Amino acid sequence: MKTRTFLWTGLIIFIVAIVGLLVRNRLIQERKIAQNVPLLPTVSTTMVQKKSLQETLSLVGTLEAVQDVVVVSETSGRVVAVRAEVGDKLVGGSEIVRVDDELKLASFRTAEVNFEKAKKDLTRYENLYASKAATDAEVEAARLNFKAAEAQFLTARRQYQDARIKSPIPGILTSRSVDLGDMVQPGTAVANVVDISSFKAIVNLAEKDINKVKVGDRVNVTSDLLPGQDFSGKVLNLSVKGDEAHSYRVEISIPNPKGSPLKAQMFCRITFPVLVKRESVVIPREALTGSRKDPQVFVLRGDRVTLLAITVGAEVETDVEVLKGLNPGETIVVSGQQNIGDGARVTAVPLR
């Protein structure tokens, strides 16, 4: 009985050893096979599509007021009245401050009296001359006196009017640099008035885009400070001469709508619609290899890729228009191109 038990135990141990040896040999064999088989490079792929495409050209500019005026004094004296505060809406001719005009008023009234007297004297001498009761010299003297009195009158009137410093344009008083009691001289900056009814934006257009834009084109205007709001503008002027960087100055006219949401010196984005909307074959820009002049893409066929030359057109955001070389439904590589070559086998993972 003990001998039989011993034999069975030995047999079981022998079988286990044989099985273990076989498993070990199988693992070693699989490891050798795995080492001899190269791993395929993994690439991301997407399908070529046909979709509606509209090329736009977007540039950043700054809104500038069409009329931004620094009001200066044309007289001297002390400010005796302040008529407008910062933020006030003014019409053309609104008085901002008044300078002491007592002496100017006196000079104006004296000049006005002398002017009226000289005018009457000239009329009287001309009538006397017509009846041969006055000489040529007397008439000429009266005429010269009238001209001198007229000049003095106009000068005095202007000096008196200059004491009332006014806004030459309608707009908003954005600053006032003098207060009650301050002294001003000719040339002293008194205030700044900005007309916010319309703006202009200046942008620089690259040489390659200059023929895509013309005077009169409508543009779309947006600002990050006014999300969700679009404004309309128009190309007002297009430079015919580029600068040293081969860019061209473009001036855009932008009316400020009701409520005046646009402000001077606000950054804005000008979008030019430079291509009519059309159905086009498009691919992601990241699928391109090679240069922009000689673009190529990897096309997946089975588990291999083929490098094809294509002809591209417009670039719109992240998409590129394909004019020749690809058809809708074909699968192309969009990432991992640096690890593969023409004819390579790959592991393709569809881009999500």
pLDDT per residue over 91-143, tens digit each?
Answer: 999 999 999 999 999 999 999 999 999 999 999 999 998 988 889 999 999 99
Q: How confident is the model at residue 318 (pLDDT cuts 50, 70, 90)?
A: confident
Domain match, 89 and 147 both = yes
Structural domains counted in the chain: 4
Last residue of a domain, one of 229, 255, 273: 273
Distances (CA, A) of 7 to 15, 19, 102, 235, 352: 12, 19, 140, 104, 64
% of the chain exceeding 90 in pLDDT: 64
Domain match, 261 and 313 both = no
Indicate the DSSP class of residue 143.
H
Q: Is 324 a domain residue?
A: yes
Instruction: Indicate if the alpha-carbon torsion angle 53, 58, 63, 64 is positive or negative.
Output: negative
Q: Which of 2-6, 29-33, 173-177, 293-297 has the highest mean pLDDT?
A: 173-177
Domain match, 112 and 154 both = yes
Q: Is 70 a domain residue?
A: no
Domain match, 94 and 177 both = yes
Mean pLDDT for the chain overall: 88
Q: How many helices (H) and strands (E) does the chain have?
A: 3, 22
pLDDT tops 70 at residue 12: no
Weakest mean pLDDT among 17-21, 84-88, 198-202: 17-21
**DSSP codes joined into one string, 306-319:** EEEE-EEEEEETTE
> Residue 334 has what pLDDT?
94
Domain match, 184 and 199 both = no
**Nearest C-alpha neighbor of 57 from the set 284, 203, 321, 270:** 270
CA atoms within 13 A on the CB side of 308: 21
Domain match, 106 and 173 both = yes
**Cα-trace Rg, the chain:** 44
Q: Is 69 a domain residue?
A: no
Domain match, 123 and 170 both = yes
> Residue 280 has what pLDDT?
86
Last residue of a domain, one of 190, 205, 235: 190
* 239-282 confidence digits (pLDDT tens): 989 888 888 999 999 999 988 899 999 999 999 877 656 788 99
For residue 282, the enclosing domain spans 43-55+277-350
Domain match, 181 and 240 both = no
Domain match, 224 and 248 both = yes
C-alpha to C-alpha distance for 223 and 287, rounded to whole angstroms: 32
pLDDT tops 60 at residue 6: no
The label of the residue with tokens 């895509």 reads: 212
Distances (CA, A) of 5 to 2, 8, 322: 5, 5, 82
